[in-house]
Structure 1
Amino acid sequence: MKMNQKADIILSSNAVFTGLTDKPIPAYIAIINNKIAAIGSEKEINAFIGLNTKIHHFSDQMIMAGFHDFHLHMLMGSLAEESVFLADASSEEDTIKMVLDFANSRPDDPWIIGFSWDQRSWDNNRLPNRATLDRVLPDRPVLLFHMEGHYVWVNSKALEIANINRNTDNPPHGIIAKDENGEPTGILYETANALVTYHAFNFSKERLIRMMKNFLEQTALLGVTSVNDLYGSPAMEKLQDYKLFADLDKNGELTARIHLSPPLNDDLENAKQLRDTYTSSKLQVSGLKQFVDGVISGYTACLLEPYADKPETSGETVLPPDTLKKWIIEADREGFQIRLHAIGDGAIRLALDAFEEAQKINGKRDSRHCIEHVEVIHPDDSARFKKLGVIASMQPEHLGFNEEQRQNYISYIGPEREPFVFAMKTLKDSGALLALGTDYPIAQLNPMLGIYRALTRMGYDGTPSEGFNPQERLSLPEVLRDYTLSPAYGSFREKELGTLEVGKLADLVVLDRNLFEIPVEDIPDVRVVLTMVDGAIVFQNEMQVIK
């Protein structure tokens, strides 16, 4: 950069959280092209002001690095925004009414798709049946994703289209639930979802583009400047259209940086080809993803000891441990970062064992492997994250249980495992790197909700007042870095992203309030004033004053 070069944009605020210190500072930021050219006082930045320099003053509104969501599913999230949202239903009948109202409002939709029902919030606490859906929608296929996304509720029409009947065998690592007479109940677990989504997700290219643009509008509005789009099970395969993302990138239409993690499987040649194909600053392959287990509420998470309320099972792994280890060792040898969904303490231990074995066989390197979710950990395994250089990729918004959901959750795992649920502080104190995200659409995309949840650990209903496992609460500077710098590190981009520093890419956000100066209960209501990606303003609110 020439010394006399003038800034394209200068931003200033009394509260600039650079990420390098624990508190915001007053500062001016000069941006040239797509990079931060200088950060300093008004006097120091004056030399960067030219005839065409745009200057934005933000008074006490907080400027910080853009949020980096380390774990989400872009098009699945966009689809959820267009579907019926069922989390607020208090009963099966209530859910049915919401689905029917939605179906009546969309008479031309070939499938009725919904998200986020949860029987744990219903008055009867029981899993539903296809017969209830058949009663109101006998002729239109219905596909409703459970809140955790690992099982679905469908009607008979959907089963008919997918050719699922009493004689259909379970697919590998999936379950078609059947009643005492051997008939499908309408609940499909894990990979069995894909038997239906294969038919339901036949979207046109035009619709996929629209969904992607809607997603990018959301990220800009919420100050999310980078995301990691992870492989999300066979059910989502039709929503992983990398070529479509690349077309948007070529056209300059990507307003957030996208880091892809395609599936880890036995086709490493395809993975290498994807890694070599998608290499731009806005769209790149950063790792490979696979599932070790499922979820607690479906008894598909793998535990070291049996479930408290279902002692005949400890859950199971999605793949045989030997297969998983083989794939991990081979991918590690080829230099891939590996990201493993592991929720139960048995799955987390297996993931750590596999990473340890890969390290012994292939040698130690800067692999930055990740374990996703880390929901119920055995205390003996916390320190292994640092020892093996494994990142704990966690989503605080999953802590948003209401009182009833939390009690149900504890009844699954038992009180002796309760203290080790979402052990964020324990992991950090043991030296692990914690990188935060949302798992959108399983949780909302808004980073403010995750920040609030990590600080308070309270559910949506404000319980418990001291927080669920309050000893695991994090501090505000920790949470902000874990939502910016840690995900940048986890994507091998900490030299370019994650803090406000000279030479880094100008990806930043301005919030309407200084998070350090407001009561914690106000954080969910904080809004974005401006979002900048690559030095370009991709969202701005009229609230700002421009000079």
Structure 2
Amino acid sequence: MTADIVLRGGKVLTVDEDFTVTTALAITGDRITAVGEEATALIGPDTQVIDLDGRAVLPGINDAHLHLAMFGQSRRNADLTTVDAVPALHAVLRKQSPRGGWLVGEGWREVNIPDLDPHRTVIDPVTGDVPTVLHHASRHSILVNTAALRRAGIDRHTANPVGGIIVRDEDGEPTGMLLESAGELVTRHIPALSTEERLDAIVDGMRVLNTLGVTSVTDPIVWPELLRDYTLLHQQGRATVRVNALLHWDWPSPSTSVERLTTMLGQTGVATGLGDNRLRIGGVKLFADGVPSHGTAWLHDPYPDGTSGHLVTPGADDDARYSHLLDLIEVVHRHRLQAQIHVTGDRAADAAADGIIRAQAKDPWPQARHALIHGTLLAPETIRRLGEHRIGVVTSSLMRTYSGATISAAVGVERWNDAFPAAALLAAGAPVADSSDAPVCFPDWRVGLATFVGAGPHPLAEVPPSLRLTREQAIRLWTSNPAYFEHAEEHKGSLVPGQLADLVVVDQDPLAVPEKELASLKPQLTVLGGKAVYSTTDM
């Protein structure tokens, strides 16, 4: 037998159990068939031989929490990520052409725009009668203009929806800031994209990911229409990224009731693992709380204004919302679906852990691999419990750079210093994978890698020495560990014979370059299932 492709003459980081580094790798069909000297022995007359010339090969990058469709669609809207002043915001909005009669922007952060008072009157002068929606970078709020409020019928008499807040001024009038589920009151009026527009946006997002070496993602909010879109792309052979889907029926509202969830799971009849290695059902996404920057993360110790946030589950008070969250987790568990639960506050994390532990005690399912998403602020005792019960955490290292200013302002620098404690979780025995949460952050795993080893690109991204990872640990968080969360570690995440031939070639060895250069590694070849989906001219 000869191989279809052999890569040789570089560093092949297999990310196997021993983190073996070898010099060659062979691919036959969509699988890896050999590594090391055994790989070069498979070179035949028809084998494509790729000389690495000292480059390094890693397993294809797996982003464990990336909103793929949202990322693709966000690239079509006004880019507000670099806006640093109100005049600059006005300039971007003036240049943006409305689509379907609406103007939509993405990625603004209040700390980046010091002169911004988030109020509809700030954007009214440049948007006029065109309804306008500006998504906050966190994706947990929107700023809209007066025309959008009018189109949605929101005024001083409109009640807050479950799990959401209509921010009002001292006279009770809506300011244009809509938090959490309140945003849906406006966004549901934006004309829907056509099927082809949606599919093209997803494909565009996949192509960007391929240039970064990404071959797999977990999309954590997949509603029925989006699942159908992913299925169509799979059928058409257009998907160049593997998708692990977490179902959620109520987005853009984070709130879900036990009654609705029970009904939807009963009608769909799905369970974790349905699908194939290109598209599969991973589980269900639940929301426990909001985000610290908006004061909606549920904390044990209050914010500077004396509030503590709250759960976004239905209920009249904290006890009722807590009980509802535990019941939601139990419903997901009972239907044999993995539960991944958004938690950013330490009190929310404790509540979610309580729910997972209770569900497992009542109905043991060792293969569940339930997990917390983000785990932004975790108490030492919580970390110990997560390790004891093997409850995973999908961290968000890139937020240390992109969200550090907003979150540290909300909870204090001392609490922020210990945010996303991947090293402490691993030491406690909890499974950990890392992620970008794109489009909240640009999906650059290299920045995440650099951040967790102590070379973050921003002062607020600096990880305390006691919480830094080794390079091997950090690489696992973007390769083999996400595969574990997907129940797919036998098929991907490592470069060993029998696994899917998903890989990325980078220009330098990530184990050898200076830490500050990790964020500058250059992906030069991305292979998915034995076929190149991205290549630079020098490959």
Same fold, TM exceeding 0.5?
A: yes
C-alpha distance 347-228 of structure 1, shift in aligned 2 (>3 A): same
Which amino acid in 1 is paired with 2:213?
G
**More deviation, 290-299/19-28:** 19-28
CA displacement, residues 250-303 of structure 1 (integer Å, 9 cap, x when unaligned)? 122211110000027333535753448951220110111010000001100000
Question: Corresponding residue for 1:356?
Answer: 357
Question: Quick one: which of 6, 20, 29 aligns to 1:10?
Answer: 6
Alpha-carbon offset, residue 92 of structure 1: 3.0
SS at match of 1:200: coil
Separation in structure 1 between the aligned mates of residue 294 and residue 328 of structure 2, nearest angstrom:
26
Question: Corresponding residue for 2:198?
Answer: 208
Q: Which runs of 5+ in 2 are unaligned?
A: 249-255, 314-320
Separation in structure 2 between the aligned mates of residue 523 and residue 416 of structure 1, nearest angstrom:
27
**More deviation, 20-29/327-336:** 20-29
Tell me, yes or no, if the aligned pair for 2:85 and 2:112 is still in contact at 8 Å.
yes
Question: Corresponding residue for 2:425?
Answer: 427
Question: Quick one: which of 271, 284, 289 aligns to 2:285?
Answer: 289
Alpha-carbon offset, residue 334 of structure 1: 2.2
C-alpha distance 47-385 of structure 1, shift in aligned 2 (>3 A): same
> Superposition pairs for residues 140-151 of structure 1, below 5 Å?
140-151=130-141
SS at match of 1:286: strand
Tell me, yes or no, if the aligned pair for 2:212 and 2:523 is still in contact at 8 Å.
yes
**More deviation, 221-230/126-135:** 126-135
SS at match of 1:218: helix
SS at match of 1:48: coil
Runs (4+) of structure 1 exceeding 6 A deviation are: 21-24
C-alpha distance 99-387 of structure 1, shift in aligned 2 (>3 A): same
Tell me, yes or no, if the aligned pair for 1:149 and 1:442 is still in contact at 8 Å.
yes
Question: Corresponding residue for 1:317?
Answer: 311
Question: Corresponding residue for 1:507?
Answer: 502
Q: Which runs of 5+ in 1 are unaligned?
A: none
Question: Corresponding residue for 2:157?
Answer: 167
SS at match of 2:511: helix
CA displacement, residues 124-164 of structure 1 (integer Å, 9 cap, x when unaligned)? 4x641101111111121111111211010011111122221
C-alpha distance 93-327 of structure 1, shift in aligned 2 (>3 A): same
Separation in structure 1 between the aligned mates of residue 99 and residue 15 of structure 2, nearest angstrom:
49
Tell me, yes or no, if the aligned pair for 1:457 and 1:469 is still in contact at 8 Å.
no
State the percentage of identical aligned residues: 28
> Superposition pairs for residues 71-470 of structure 1, below 5 Å?
71-101=65-95, 103=96, 106=97, 110-124=101-115, 127-200=117-190, 202-231=192-221, 241-263=226-248, 265-269=261-265, 272-275=268-271, 279-307=275-303, 309-311=304-306, 313-319=307-313, 320-401=321-402, 406=405, 409-414=407-412, 417-456=415-454, 458=456, 460=457, 462-463=458-459, 467-470=462-465
Separation in structure 1 between the aligned mates of residue 263 and residue 68 of structure 2, nearest angstrom:
24
Tell me, yes or no, if the aligned pair for 2:60 and 2:502 is still in contact at 8 Å.
yes
Alpha-carbon offset, residue 56 of structure 1: 0.8
**More deviation, 519-528/489-498:** 519-528
CA displacement, residues 326-377 of structure 1 (integer Å, 9 cap, x when unaligned)? 1211221222110000000000000101011111111251211010000011
SS at match of 2:348: helix
SS at match of 2:285: strand
Question: Corresponding residue for 2:25?
Answer: 29
Does 2:56 align with 1:55? no
Tell me, yes or no, if the aligned pair for 1:18 and 1:500 is still in contact at 8 Å.
yes
**More deviation, 269-278/286-295:** 269-278
Which amino acid in 2 is paired with 1:321?
Y
CA displacement, residues 497-531 of structure 1 (integer Å, 9 cap, x when unaligned)? 11111111111111122112222222222221111
Question: Corresponding residue for 2:474?
Answer: 479
Alpha-carbon offset, residue 94 of structure 1: 2.8
**More deviation, 131-140/65-74:** 131-140
Separation in structure 1 between the aligned mates of residue 533 and residue 506 of structure 2, nearest angstrom:
14
SS at match of 1:186: strand
C-alpha distance 507-317 of structure 1, shift in aligned 2 (>3 A): same
C-alpha distance 276-353 of structure 1, shift in aligned 2 (>3 A): closer
CA displacement, residues 26-76 of structure 1 (integer Å, 9 cap, x when unaligned)? 4221111111111122xx334422332111111211101000000011111
Tell me, yes or no, if the aligned pair for 1:306 and 1:314 is still in contact at 8 Å.
yes
CA displacement, residues 446-491 of structure 1 (integer Å, 9 cap, x when unaligned)? 2112212222263x4x3269x2434322121111111100000000
Which amino acid in 2 is paired with 1:49?
I
Alignment coverage as a number of residue pairs? 521
C-alpha distance 92-326 of structure 1, shift in aligned 2 (>3 A): same
Tell me, yes or no, if the aligned pair for 1:510 and 1:531 is still in contact at 8 Å.
yes
TM-score by length of 1: 0.90
Tell me, yes or no, if the aligned pair for 2:11 and 2:56 is still in contact at 8 Å.
yes
CA displacement, residues 64-96 of structure 1 (integer Å, 9 cap, x when unaligned)? 100000001111111221222223222333322
SS at match of 1:301: coil
Does 2:51 align with 1:66? no
Which amino acid in 2 is paired with 1:535?
G
Tell me, yes or no, if the aligned pair for 1:71 and 1:230 is still in contact at 8 Å.
yes
Separation in structure 2 between the aligned mates of residue 8 and residue 271 of structure 1, nearest angstrom:
44
Which amino acid in 1 is paired with 2:410?
Y
Tell me, yes or no, if the aligned pair for 1:275 and 1:284 is still in contact at 8 Å.
no
Alpha-carbon offset, residue 110 of structure 1: 2.4
Separation in structure 2 between the aligned mates of residue 330 and residue 480 of structure 1, nearest angstrom:
34
Tell me, yes or no, if the aligned pair for 1:87 and 1:116 is still in contact at 8 Å.
yes
**More deviation, 273-282/51-60:** 273-282
Separation in structure 2 between the aligned mates of residue 276 and residue 495 of structure 1, nearest angstrom:
16
Separation in structure 2 between the aligned mates of residue 33 and residue 487 of structure 1, nearest angstrom:
24
Tell me, yes or no, if the aligned pair for 1:355 and 1:388 is still in contact at 8 Å.
no
Question: Corresponding residue for 2:251?
Answer: none
Alpha-carbon offset, residue 535 of structure 1: 1.3
Which amino acid in 1 is paired with 2:421?
A
